[in-house]
Chains A and B, each alone.
Chain A
């Protein structure tokens, strides 16, 4: 019965949504509201105004930088949420639960991972620093770093990876994305602009392009670092299986 009602409800919803779709502006036409409003300016002026050839990066970090600040806060929030649910590994006691993780694997796999991980890290750096000219950016780079640690952890176990990225290094850096954004934002005040203004009006004209570029890169690095640390911490919190055998309550 419940199944039938749900099916009917969802079917009706689907029909309604399809009807709405049929009334929407045709996709891809150049005279759609989406193509004629707001966006042309981004496409035409972004390079001059944000000094990033990649318009998407320009929008993310500059025009809509505050959204991105929200975004890094969301991911930071997710970390805090995961930690609030699962708890962080305790300082110093990490050995207790190390042996539970780490898949048994052959020498070939272990060697390959050890060889590949540095290259992945290098690639992530490229992604971070090249974000403004090509697809990529801070968060993607951070995610790549996180992915490298996932591979590493699955093969070598939590203990070794937590030695490589110890808590005392990780936890202060987890908020670095938010902090960077905040600092860059506040610097905007002192440069005579608003929060998150990159092109400080008070600084002489000649400095502008370089300043904007450097601030953009700074933010990218902050996002990358913070994102990576957050992902690694989430990973550790989830891999950790302390007292997993018996139900707690």
Chain B
């Protein structure tokens, strides 16, 4: 069955959902950011697995390296960009967390937003 054969993808998808769950349900904002990173990583896993090739070798030319056996280098290149993006978003998110913590003294999202409702009402 294809799902079994594609279990890398399946794992990536499950990780994706776990990450999404963390982002949505966790109340601690740092955990939310961890969830975000899990989601990102799952997509990287997914993309890298797309580039996998049975019995493939690293895509570096050199003695004994046969181009027809190399794994797909394109997803790797994309992932490099993706990682940088992920790092950037995480950096920004963490600095927002620092500021939020300084101002509210809490990391609990329900308390952050409860206060908002009180201020509005």
Chain A–chain B contact at Cβ < 8 A: yes
A residues with CB within 8 A of B = 3, 6-7, 10-11, 13-14, 17-18, 20-24, 26-30, 34-35, 38-40, 42-44, 46-47, 53-56, 58-60, 64, 67-68, 70-72, 74-75, 77-78, 81-82, 85-86, 133-135, 137, 139, 234, 237-238, 244, 247-249
In the complex, the answer to whether A22 meets B50 with C-beta atoms within 8 Å is: no
Report B-chain residues with C-beta under 8 Å of the C-beta of A244.
102
A190-B24 Cα distance, complex, nearest whole Å: 51
B residues with CB within 8 A of A = 1-3, 5-6, 8-10, 13-14, 16-17, 20-21, 24-25, 49-54, 56, 58-62, 67-68, 70, 72-78, 80-81, 84-85, 87-89, 91-92, 94-96, 98-99, 102-105
Report B-chain residues with C-beta under 8 Å of the C-beta of A6.
21, 24-25
A124 CB to closest chain B CB (Å) equals 16
Given A17-B16, A77-B88, A249-B103, A85 and B76 contact (CB-CB distance below 8 Å): no
| Closest B residue to A19 using CB positions | B3
* SS of A interface (majority): helix
Report B-chain residues with C-beta under 8 Å of the C-beta of A237.
95
A27-B4 Cα distance, complex, nearest whole Å: 10
Which among B20, B60, B102, B104 is the interface contact of A10 at CB below 8 angstroms? Answer: B20
7 new A-B contacts at CB < 8 Å, known A26-B2, A56-B60, A78-B88:
A34-B75, A43-B68, A53-B61, A54-B59, A75-B84, A78-B92, A248-B103
A211 CB to closest chain B CB (Å) equals 19
Report B-chain residues with C-beta under 8 Å of the C-beta of A14.
13-14, 17
A9 CB to closest chain B CB (Å) equals 8
Which among B1, B60, B68, B88 is the interface contact of A133 at CB below 8 angstroms? Answer: B60
Which of B21, B91, B96, B104: most chain A CB closer than 10 A? Answer: B91
Q: List 12 A-B contacts (CB under 8 A).
A: A13-B17, A18-B3, A18-B14, A26-B5, A26-B6, A35-B53, A38-B74, A43-B59, A43-B70, A46-B61, A81-B88, A135-B58
In the complex, the answer to whether B80 meets A60 with C-beta atoms within 8 Å is: yes
Report A-chain residues with C-beta under 8 Å of the C-beta of B81.
60, 67-68, 70-71, 74
In the complex, the answer to whether B6 meets A24 with C-beta atoms within 8 Å is: yes
Given A54-B59, A71-B85, A27 and B6 contact (CB-CB distance below 8 Å): yes
A113-B50 Cα distance, complex, nearest whole Å: 40
A74-B6 Cα distance, complex, nearest whole Å: 32
In the complex, the answer to whether A247 meets B104 with C-beta atoms within 8 Å is: yes
A67-B52 Cα distance, complex, nearest whole Å: 22
| Closest A residue to B67 using CB positions | A43
A234-B16 Cα distance, complex, nearest whole Å: 28
B56 CB to closest chain A CB (Å) equals 8
A234 CB to closest chain B CB (Å) equals 5
| Closest B residue to A54 using CB positions | B60
Which among B3, B52, B73, B89 is the interface contact of A28 at CB below 8 angstroms? Answer: B52
B78 CB to closest chain A CB (Å) equals 8
Report B-chain residues with C-beta under 8 Å of the C-beta of A59.
73-74, 77
In the complex, the answer to whether A74 meets B95 with C-beta atoms within 8 Å is: no
In the complex, the answer to whether A24 meets B9 with C-beta atoms within 8 Å is: yes
A234-B8 Cα distance, complex, nearest whole Å: 34
